């Protein structure tokens, strides 16, 4: 099977690509190596992927419909895993238009081409942030209440997914990821950022009172959900991919402290706009229909991340 993976140089995209390559699929990676964080990390991810003979990479921007068309014409992918995006809630406040162009228009470019070239499945990486301030646990059929430009772009992209599924009868699956962490993780996210600061003895700025909770999900569990969604080919479904176990920010910090054997120097900061107090996934639908079964408890996942971090 030929699978086009956008965002292949990024955190989740590189893990998904690796898993698909190991299963023997041909992976066509697309990524513009956006400088949102150090592109050295993305180049390292690509080096790992390029060890596989069944990997091919295009450094292109998903906003460039013509460049994408050439890739679709040449490669004719059977399926698409669309994971490229401008990620991050806080930076989206400063650059809402760029987020819209990449996350909404870029997604539409891909949907159009996948439809035209008759892709057999389109899997879209959405986010738990679409639920915003909704009551927990979040269920897929809940009313969406995004409270940041980033979350709003994901909601709009989900709507486009639905429209293109209806318009061209293409199977589309939307996956809502919940705070993903693990080796090769994003340096702007809590697990990575706090590990680095605590390890270097620097001050850790904690926004809010440490009571905010997240459904931290280990990347291998997310990958299993993405691969299952690619295999299942449901006509149109939305699934939560979370751990369905929340941890408070201060619990996360103490888990990292234990894994590193170092104490954090905490500086209390006010809560940031766009941040939600809690995310918590109801994963009963994913369990039933995708066979999704997250296995990694936060203590184990953080320990694996810290081991990777120390080696790098
Ligand atoms: N990490 C999480 O906790 C999390 C949670 C919810 C949703 N998501 C979503 O999962 C997907 C992957 O996220 P990630 O954490 O791996 O982030 P990431 O930033 O590591 O990966 C995204 C990749 O997309 C690429 N990209 C950005 N703009 C692009 C453009 N215009 N054209 C082509 N490529 C472009 C980046 O270079 C990057 O390599 C994203 O869609 C993100 O919104 C992630």
Decide: 259 in ligand 1 pocket, CB within 6 A. Answer: no
Q: Which atom of ligand 1 is nearest to the CA of 12?
A: 16
What integer pLDDT is reported at residue 209 of this predicted model?
Answer: 87
| Ligand 1 centroid distance, CA of 263 (Å) | 31
Q: Which atom of ligand 1 is nearest to the CA of 87?
A: 43
What integer pLDDT is reported at residue 275 of this predicted model?
Answer: 87
| Ligand 1 centroid distance, CA of 125 (Å) | 9
What integer pLDDT is reported at residue 310 of this predicted model?
Answer: 96
Decide: 225 in ligand 1 pocket, CB within 6 A. Answer: no
Please report which residue ranges of 24-103 form alpha helices under DSSP H: 39-50, 65-75, 89-94, 96-100
| Ligand 1 centroid distance, CA of 186 (Å) | 9
Tell me the catalytic residues: 150
What integer pLDDT is reported at residue 274 of this predicted model?
Answer: 85
Backbone angles phi, psi at 129, to 5 degrees: -65, -15
Q: For each of the chain's 312 residues, which pLDDT tens digit applies?
A: 999 999 999 999 999 999 999 999 999 999 999 999 999 999 999 999 999 999 999 999 999 999 999 999 999 999 999 999 999 999 999 999 999 999 999 999 999 999 999 999 999 999 999 999 999 999 999 999 999 999 999 999 999 999 999 999 999 999 999 999 999 999 999 999 999 999 999 999 999 888 999 999 999 999 999 999 999 999 999 999 999 999 999 999 999 999 999 999 999 999 888 889 999 999 999 999 999 999 999 999 999 999 999 999
Domains of the chain: 2-179+218-243+282-294 (3.40.50.720)
């Amino acid at each position: 099977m030929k699978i086009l993976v956008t965002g292949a140089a990024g955190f989740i995209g590189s893990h998904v690509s690796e898993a698909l390559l190991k299963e023997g699929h041909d992976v066509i990676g697309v990524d513009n190596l956006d400088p949102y964080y150090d592109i050295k990390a993305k180049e390292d991810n690509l080096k790992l992927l390029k060890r596989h003979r069944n990997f091919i990479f295009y450094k292109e921007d998903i906003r460039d419909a013509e460049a994408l068309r050439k890739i679709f014409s040449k490669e004719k992918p059977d399926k698409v895993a669309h994971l490229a995006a401008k990620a991050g809630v806080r930076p989206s406040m400063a650059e809402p238009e760029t987020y819209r162009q990449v996350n909404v228009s870029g997604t539409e470019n891909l949907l159009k081409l996948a439809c035209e070239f008759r892709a057999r499945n389109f899997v879209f990486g959405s986010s738990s942030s679409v639920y915003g301030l909704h009551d927990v646990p979040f269920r897929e059929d809940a009313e969406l209440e995004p409270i940041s430009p980033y979350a709003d772009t994901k909601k709009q992209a989900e709507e486009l997914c639905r429209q293109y599924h209806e318009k061209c009868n293409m199977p589309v699956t939307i996956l809502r990821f919940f705070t993903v962490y693990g080796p090769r993780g994003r340096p702007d996210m809590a697990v990575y950022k706090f590990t680095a600061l605590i390890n270097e003895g620097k001050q850790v700025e904690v926004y809010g009172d440490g009571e905010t909770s997240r459904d931290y999900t280990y990347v291998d569990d997310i990958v299993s959900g993405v691969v299952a969604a690619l295999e299942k080919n449901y006509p149109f479904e939305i699934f939560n991919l979370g751990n369905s176990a929340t941890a408070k920010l201060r619990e996360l910090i103490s888990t990292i402290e234990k894994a590193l054997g170092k104490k954090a120097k905490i500086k209390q900061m006010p809560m940031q706009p766009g941040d939600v107090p809690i995310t918590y996934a109801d994963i009963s639908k994913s369990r039933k229909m995708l066979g999704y079964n997250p296995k990694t408890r936060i203590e184990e996942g953080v320990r694996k991340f810290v081991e990777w971090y120390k080696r790098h």
